[in-house]
Amino acid sequence: MKKDVIIIGAGIAGLTAAIYVLRAGHSALCIEGANYGGQIVNSPEVENYPGYQNISGFDLVNTVFEQAKALGMEYQNDKVLSVKKEGDGFVVSGEAASYEAASVIIATGAKRRKLGVSGEERLSGLGVSYCATCDGMFYRKKDTIVCGGGNTALEDAMFLSNFCNHVTICHRRDGFRGEPKLLEQLKEKDNVSFVTDVTVDEIAGAEKVEKLIYTDHKTGAKGEIPANGIFIAVGQIPDTEFVKDLISLDEAGYVIAGEDCATNVPGIFAAGDCRKKPVRQLTTAAADGTVAGLAAAQYTE
Ligand code: NAP
């Protein structure tokens, strides 16, 4: 049956959009290709979402999911392959089925970027990981490296430092994008050190990770950091490939949509980390979900 609004992606943006569509009196089907929750489920501690001094990303998003379900959100686990305009609505085609709606909200977020260095692919799962929360415990009392300088890298390093022997933060610049408060907390830890202004050349190891090899930008010298585990947190790639022929994306693949969340195609809206915008936080994802949800609801009237 044709829905009023289909929301693709069940992270904080998509789930918030569902709440607003439903409260505006319209039907909402949320389609998610993986588990609901989005990237924040990998954050063990969230301390910058109003209303909670400290909550795990999983607990936070679980509450929002239950809230949307209680309002009547329909939920489908399916990987969306395409969205097409048909008549006065849209057909969303997934691996399992096709779905119809008057309006569509793209809230697919982004996935972790790879470093793209020698050894990374081969040693993935053998010491190379993209999720500290998922794999960190394997490195209890061991030495780990976190690559990156954003909030994810700093949060990963903080999490790992609670039980690893040592954590080295390896970053390509001296400056960090992540929150200064978190950076200061890490600098005070005895088992955390920094290797900055370097390029990672290789992740080396015969059958599992043994070390990271880098070049120092200032001296040009090669260096090595021995490690059992290497966590890559060097940013994200938007999950928008499936709509690249329908709506306008920027050169990095983010959906071009303004603060009204409207794309260049009437009836399609974008919310959360997949939208081109300067600040990507849980709060701004929720804000996008609100705007896109209300706009999509209005569009169907
Ligand atoms: P990010 O903020 O884009 O940071 C990516 C980091 O990786 C940057 O330091 C960047 O270096 C580095 N990098 C990028 N490409 C690289 C490459 N090829 N080789 C080496 N280093 C590379 O990504 P993020 O940390 O995943 O965070 C994404 C968004 O989510 C951000 O807006 C962040 O604030 C937000 N976030 C929020 C929370 C929270 O609210 N609790 C938690 C996690 C993330 P440069 O700095 O030199 O560019």
- Residue of 152, 170, 176, 202 to mutate, ligand 1, most atoms within 8 A of C-beta: 152
Residue 115 beta carbon below 6 angstroms from any ligand 1 atom: yes
What's residue 135's pLDDT?
87
Band (pLDDT 50/70/90 cuts) for residue 1 is confident
Structural domains of the chain ordered from first start: 2-111+236-300 (3.50.50.60), 128-232 (3.50.50.60)
Cβ count near 102 (within 10 Å): 21
> Which residue owns the Cα nearest ligand 1 atom 29?
280
What's residue 79's pLDDT?
97
**Alpha helices (H) in the chain, listed in sequence order:** 12-23, 57-70, 132-135, 151-161, 180-187, 282-299
Residue 31 near residue 99 (C-beta atoms within 8 A): yes
Band (pLDDT 50/70/90 cuts) for residue 168 is very high
pTM of the model: 0.80
What's residue 148's pLDDT?
98
pLDDT at residue 4 above 80?
Answer: yes
- Residue of 200, 230, 277, 280 to mutate, ligand 1, most atoms within 8 A of C-beta: 280
What's residue 48's pLDDT?
87
> For 160-187, what is the mean pLDDT?
97
Active site residue 156: no
Cβ count near 179 (within 10 Å): 15
> For 41-45, what is the mean pLDDT?
80
Q: Is 159 exposed, middle or buried (0-12, 13-18, 19+ CB in 10 A)?
A: buried
pLDDT at residue 284 above 90?
Answer: yes
Residue 39 beta carbon below 6 angstroms from any ligand 1 atom: no
pLDDT tens for each residue of 98-153: 999 999 999 999 988 999 999 999 999 899 999 898 789 999 999 999 999 999 99
Catalytic member of 4, 59, 78, 135 = 135
Residue 149 beta carbon below 6 angstroms from any ligand 1 atom: yes
What's residue 134's pLDDT?
79
Catalytic member of 78, 131, 197, 201 = 131
For residue 296, the number of C-alpha atoms closer than 13 Å in the C-beta half-sphere is 40
Q: How far is CA 37 from the centre of its chain?
A: 10
Higher pLDDT, 6 or 301: 6
What's residue 286's pLDDT?
98
Give the percent of the chain with pLDDT over 90: 92
- Token pair recorded at residue 19: 């709440």
Question: Alpha-carbon distance 153 to 173, whole Å?
Answer: 13
User: Considering the chain, what is the average pLDDT of its residues?
Assistant: 96
Residue 198 beta carbon below 6 angstroms from any ligand 1 atom: no
- Residue of 58, 151, 200 to mutate, ligand 1, most atoms within 8 A of C-beta: 151
Residue 92 near residue 99 (C-beta atoms within 8 A): yes
pLDDT at residue 39 above 90?
Answer: no
pLDDT at residue 44 above 80?
Answer: no
Question: Alpha-carbon distance 131 to 58, whole Å?
Answer: 14
Q: Residue 175 gets which letter from DSSP? A: S
Q: DSSP characters for 181-195?
A: HHHHHHHT-TTEEEE
Name the region of 81 (left: φ>0; alpha: ψ -120 to 50; beta: rest): alpha
Q: How far is CA 21 from the centre of its chain?
A: 23
Catalytic member of 4, 30, 134, 164 = 134
Active site residue 135: yes
